[in-house]
Amino acid sequence: MKPSKPSVYLHPVSLVGAGPGDPDLLTLRALKRIQAAEVILCDDLVDPRVLALASPQARLLYVGKRGGCVSVPQRFIHELMIREARSGARVLRLKGGDPFMFGRGAEEVDALRAAGLEVEVVSGITAGMAAPASIGIPVTDRRHAPGVAFVTGHSRAEAGPGEGPDWAALARSGLTLVIYMGLARVEALTASLMAAGLSAETPAAAIASAHTPQQSQLLCTLGELAAQLQAQALCSPAILVIGQVVSQAQGLRELSLACARA
């Protein structure tokens, strides 16, 4: 179906990235859109401190999705955005991190445009960069890796065999691996990486609830990662980082330098 021509009488719908948690990491444009919004459709991972920046008159509609929990159907979210926007309200879809990084932002843009609505996307700092940086890990460092791969450890429910990440190819790539939504499948994905030839001694990290008061992290090796996560009971949301860049982490790097001087 050909999208209808956008109406000049409707406000654009804003898809805004709320960043990893700390409101100080919002972009200026994100802050302006949050303060001006009349209806906010909010994801579960948006920090309450960010929501506190909204107008007291704004209506907050919680439409979050969390693995293993009852979630709002994506189609309903589309319909709700369209209905509110057509009413003439300033509608903001507020998403944790960045709207286009594992956030279904592209699906929502397609649905809004198909309904004849204008859409504005406001990028946010994604947790895949901000969480490692919070403990001194650069996801790219020319001394350690030729690049970085952002991948999901969570496959679609309807995905068939071979539709998930190709862990064997990723193991051979030499890239830093930054894995979203990987806690539930950490044993399987680490086993796949090691079976493909990635050393069990490869440095690894997990950072949970980055840039919030609840942040916690662990540093270990790929071979220890699953057991350490279970022992320390790190909970989602968490980012996994696998690769030599983890050796730059605060604490681990200082310890390595001290050992080298001894």
Please check the confidence at residue 261 and state whether its pLDDT lies above 90. Answer: no
Q: Which two tokens stand for residue 111?
A: 């649905």
Share of the chain above pLDDT 70, in %: 86
The strand order across the sheet containing 91-95 reads 59-62, 39-42, 91-95, 13-17, 119-122
For 5, which DSSP code? P
**Fold of domain 13-125:** Cobalt-precorrin-4 Transmethylase; domain 1 (3.40.1010)
Q: Please give the average per-residue pLDDT across 132-137, as a whole number.
A: 95
Please check the confidence at residue 66 and state whether its pLDDT lies above 80. Answer: no
Q: Give the model confidence (pLDDT) of 43-63 as tens digits.
A: 989 999 999 999 999 999 999
Domain segments of the chain: what residues? 13-125, 128-254
Q: Please give the average per-residue pLDDT across 153-162, as a whole number.
A: 57
State the pLDDT confidence band at 164, using cuts at 50, 70 and 90. confident
| Alpha-carbon span 96 to 16, nearest angstrom | 9
Tell me if domain 13-125 and domain 128-254 are identical in fold.
no
> What CATH number does domain 128-254 carry, 3.30.360.10, 3.30.950.10, 3.20.20.70, 3.90.550.10?
3.30.950.10
State the pLDDT confidence band at 262, using cuts at 50, 70 and 90. very low
Q: Which two tokens stand for residue 190?
A: 């680490």
Please check the confidence at residue 213 and state whether its pLDDT lies above 80. Answer: yes
Which of the residue ranges 25-39, 74-88, 146-160, 232-246 would you say has the lowest mean pLDDT? 146-160
Length of the chain: 262
pLDDT at 65: 67
Share of the chain above pLDDT 90, in %: 80
Q: How many other CB atoms sit within 10 Å of the CB of residue 222? A: 24
Q: Please give the average per-residue pLDDT across 249-254, as a whole number.
A: 64
Please check the confidence at residue 260 and state whether its pLDDT lies above 50. Answer: no
Please give the full DSSP string across 93-112, using - where no structure is assigned. EEESB-TTSSS-HHHHHHHH
Q: Give the model confidence (pLDDT) of 6-20 as tens digits.
A: 555 479 999 999 999
Average pLDDT score over the chain: 89
pTM of the model: 0.86
Query: Which one has a higher pLDDT value, 210 or 163?
Result: 210
Q: Please give the average per-residue pLDDT across 153-161, as a whole number.
A: 57
Q: Is 194 a catalytic residue?
A: no
Please give the full DSSP string across 81-94, using - where no structure is assigned. HHHHHHTT--EEEE
| Alpha-carbon span 126 to 241, nearest angstrom | 14
Q: How many other CB atoms sit within 10 Å of the CB of residue 240? A: 27
Q: Is 65 a catalytic residue?
A: yes
For 24, which DSSP code? G
Q: What is the dihedral of CA 141, 242, 102, 168, to 10 degrees?
A: 110
Q: Which two tokens stand for residue 228?
A: 């350490």
Catalytic: which of 81, 101, 129, 181? Answer: 181
pLDDT at 250: 73
Q: Is 129 a catalytic residue?
A: no
Catalytic: which of 32, 65, 141, 166? Answer: 65
- Answer yes or no: are the C-beta atoms of 89 and 37 closer than 8 Å: no
Please check the confidence at residue 3 and state whether its pLDDT lies above 80. Answer: no
State the pLDDT confidence band at 72, using cuts at 50, 70 and 90. confident
Please check the confidence at residue 258 and state whether its pLDDT lies above 60. Answer: no
pLDDT at 64: 80
Catalytic: which of 22, 43, 47, 98? Answer: 43
